[in-house]
Amino acid sequence: MDLSRKKPVPRSRERKRSIRWQLLLAVNIPLAVLVSIFLGYDYARELRQRLDEKRIALNEEAKTMFPAVLQFRDDGPARVQDYIDSVCGQMQDADSPGHHIAVELDGQVFQASAHHRSSPAIVDAMREAVNSSRHVAAFGSSNLIVGHQERDGASVYVSESLENLQGSVLADMLRRLAGIAFLTIVAGVAVNRVLFRVVRKPLDRLVEMMQQIGRGNLGIEVGSFSTKELDYLARALNSMSASLAVVDRQRQSQMNRARQIQSDLCPRDVSAPGLQIASLFDPADEVGGDYFDVVQMAENTWLFCVADVTGHGVPAAMAATMIKTLVVQASQQSLSPAGKLSFINEQLLTVSPGSDFVTMVLVEIDLSTRQLSMASAGHEPIWIMSADGAIHEFFSTGTVLGIDPEATWESTTEQLRPGDRILMVTDGVSETFSPNEALFGRWRIPNVLKEYQSASVSQSVMGLKQALVDFRSGGRQTDDVTAVLIDVEAEAFLERNDIRV
């Protein structure tokens, strides 16, 4: 009886990054931050340097023009205007974008008209730039840098736009960035290949080893590695695998012994004249919590017991061993099947109060009177099939053992006829699951019983086992399976065929 079975709940799989990916991120993100800081600093430094160079060049141009302006001062305003137009006209926008010249002379302002940039606003911007520390001022949507020369009441302003200058510095920075990105990609590919050879492939081998250990392939080993850390891990895993193999062999030996002991608890070679008996005992683990027994109470009276302890495995098997002792003691009491259940319940609560719960069915057959008496403590139904194929189902007559010390049960009596078959099973039969989680169910059990009506009891039990195997379709057995089939012979003394599956 497996109370722990639950429908598997799918667990969400969190997408995790590989060590290789995390190492690349750990290296490249700080590197990208440092490169960004460096490029920002380099851009600012380069821009300042270009501005200083441009300001010096414009100052030199203004200084070169200044003597000629003073010389043409006496020739009149027209001569000054012609001179600055001539100088400005020689400048091309490709080399000197936004080039403009303005002269303040004797309170009069002259501006070059060669490129049609003259306006009071640009003169104001030039004056503002001269008064700033960097000789830069905003004009329209761009900035101007201005060179200046002033003496003897005359001022010469020479300006250019910074738009191309800033674009040139930015282009140089982007070229450097592209070079760094290319080198980073090359380095990333190289590091990736190294990580694949040094880390990824060894880790894949270690993971494969752990997966094989998880599948029960204990004692396997993995070879050495070139790195100290992974080689240390490999040796530790090899040692663990070898230790697990030793422990598993010891456990398997102990479990084989326990299975043999539990198998020996079940009846063998019971001769019950007038009855044919076949049984199926198939634990889900090496040992289980199911138990069945056949005890001769008198010369012509036999007691059949099928019980199921909650759970399966070693704890349930130990409880089942205790149950056998209690059943043997109960069989020595002059009690009805219901009275025997009360006796077993009382003793169970004394030796194992509240920790073990047991379902049980007791069937007492008196061959001299062909009378069957039965009582069931929360167990699976009993099926009785008559020789004409009619099937009668008898349900539990009381609660599970090991819960209530005051619990009582009722006995049911039936008159047996030649050819009757009595089937007792544990819930491992009805609760066999298919791959799509469907139950075999109780309703299929009498169908199997009827299908093998003309076969021997051993063939019928084998047919029930095969039906369960087919229903599982290769799936795992989740609970202990036990069945006992009794055939009431038409003649008094026929050889009993007791088949253990």
Specify whether 347 is located in the same domain as 243: no
Query: Which of 282-286, 358-362, 424-428, 488-492 comes out lowest in average pLDDT?
Result: 488-492
**Residue 204, domain member (yes or no):** no
How many other C-beta atoms can be found within 10 angstroms of the C-beta atom of residue 87? 19
How far apart are the C-alpha atoms of 390 and 392, rounded to whole Å?
7
- Spatial distance between the Cα atoms of 361 and 377, rounded to a whole number of angstroms: 6
Q: Nearest to residue 35, comparing CAs of 199, 184, 167?
A: 184
Of 195-209, 232-246, 299-313, 447-461, the one with minimum mean pLDDT is: 195-209
Domain boundary among 133, 148, 168: 168
Give the pLDDT confidence of 216-252 residue by residue, as tens digits: 888 888 888 777 887 888 888 888 888 888 888 888 7
Residue ending a domain, choose from 265, 286, 304:
265
Q: What is the pLDDT of residue 497?
A: 39
- Give the list of residues 6+ apart from residue 127 with CB closer than 8 angstroms, or none: 157
- pLDDT in the model for residue 495: 39
CATH number at residue 145: 3.30.450
Residue 402 or 15, more confident = 402
- For residue 245, what are the CA distances in angstroms to 222, 249, 258? 15, 6, 19
Which has the higher per-residue pLDDT, 449 or 111? 449
Q: Is the pLDDT of residue 104 over 80?
A: yes
Instruction: Determine the pLDDT at residue 20.
Output: 63
Q: What is the model's pLDDT at position 485?
A: 95
Co-location of 361 and 381 in the same domain: yes
Q: Has residue 366 got a pLDDT over 60?
A: yes
Tally the domains of the chain: 3
The reply to whether 241 and 308 lie within a common domain is: no
> Quick one: 45 exposed, middle or buried, by C-beta within 10 A (0-12, 13-18, 19+)?
exposed
Q: What is the DSSP string of 26-82?
A: HHHHHHHHHHHHHHHHHHHHHHHHHHHHHHHHHHHHHHHHHHHHHHGGGG-HHHHHH
Task: Please tell me whether residues 130 and 116 are part of one structural domain.
Answer: yes
Q: Which of 36, 157, 26 is nearest to 87 (CA)?
A: 157
Q: What are phi and psi of 111, to 5 degrees?
A: -130, 140
Least trusted range by pLDDT, from 7-11, 109-113, 147-151, 404-408? 7-11
pLDDT band at 271 (very low <50, low <70, confident <90, very high): confident
Task: Report residue 198 as tokens.
Answer: 């040094």
Instruction: Give the pLDDT confidence score for residue 221 in this predicted structure.
Output: 85
Residue 392 sits in a domain whose CATH number is 3.60.40.10
Clarify whether residues 273 and 227 are in a common domain.
no
d(CA 60, CA 19): 60
Are residues 368 and 418 located together in one domain of the fold? yes
- What confidence tier does 304 reach under pLDDT thresholds 50, 70, 90? very high
Which range is least confidently modeled, 54-63, 105-114, 430-439, 490-499? 490-499
Q: Is residue 337 part of a domain?
A: yes
Instruction: Clarify whether residues 151 and 298 are in a common domain.
Output: no
Q: Is 178 inside any structural domain?
A: no
**CA distances in angstroms from 349 to 3, 354, 361, listed in the order given:** 20, 7, 18
Range scoring the smallest mean pLDDT among 247-261, 381-395, 454-468: 247-261
The C-alpha torsion from 468 through 472 and 475 to 477, rounded to 10°, is: -30
Residue 501: the pLDDT is: 38
Note whether residue 106 is domain-resident.
Answer: yes
Q: Report the pLDDT averaged over residues 379-407.
A: 95
pLDDT tens track for 35-54: 788 877 877 888 788 888 88
CA 353 vs. chain centroid, Å, equals: 40
pLDDT grade, residue 302 (50/70/90)? Answer: very high
For β-strands 290-298 and 275-282, DSSP reports them as unpaired
* Cβ(144)–Cβ(134) below 8 Å: no
Tell me how far apart the alpha carbons of residues 279 and 265 are, in angstroms, rounded to a whole number: 13
For the chain, what is the largest distance between any 2 Cα atoms, rounded to a whole number of angstroms? 157
Q: Could you tell me which residues come within 8 angstroms of residue 202 by beta carbon, excluding any fewer than 6 positions away?
A: 225, 227, 230, 234
* Range with top average pLDDT, 12-21, 103-112, 130-139, 404-413: 404-413
Quickly state the pLDDT bin for 160 (edges 50, 70, 90).
confident
Question: Does 198 map to a domain?
Answer: no
Question: What span, in angstroms and rounded, lies between the C-alpha atoms of 414 and 370?
Answer: 9
Which comes out higher in pLDDT, residue 219 or 21?
219
Give yes or no: residues 131 and 46 share one domain: yes
Would residue 397 count as lying in a domain?
Answer: yes
**What is the b/e burial string over 258-291, where b = at least 16 CB atoms within 10 angstroms of the residue's CB?**
bbeebeebbbeebebebbbbbbbbbbbebbbbbb
Residue 177: its pLDDT value, please?
79
Confidence class for position 13, pLDDT limits 50, 70, 90: low
In the numeric block, which tokens belong to residue 318? 């130990």
Residue after which a domain boundary falls, among 168, 203, 229: 168
Domain shared by 109 and 39, yes or no = yes
For residue 493, the model assigns a pLDDT of 35
Residue of 154, 143, 188 lying closest to 62 (CA atoms)? 154
500 has pLDDT over 80: no
pTM of structure: 0.58
> Domain for residue 493, yes or no?
no
Average pLDDT of the residues in 24-28:
72
Higher pLDDT, 269 or 13: 269
Residues 158, 273, single domain; the answer is no
**Residue 486 pLDDT greater than 90, yes or no:** yes
453 in Cβ contact with 390 (< 8 Å)? no
Does residue 339 sit in the same domain as residue 426? yes
Residue 57 has a CB neighbour count (10 Å cut-off) of 15
The whole-angstrom distance between residue 167's C-alpha and the CA centroid of its chain comes to 52
Amino acid found at 63: K
- Predicted confidence (pLDDT) at residue 310 exceeds the cutoff of 60: yes
Residues 381 and 426 in one domain: yes
Instruction: Write out the residue range of the structural domain in which residue 271 sits.
Output: 267-488
Q: What are the distances in angstroms from CA 131 to CA 81, 109, 134, 484?
A: 25, 18, 9, 112
Evaluate whether residue 13 is within a structural domain: no
Residue 166: its H or E element: helix 163-195
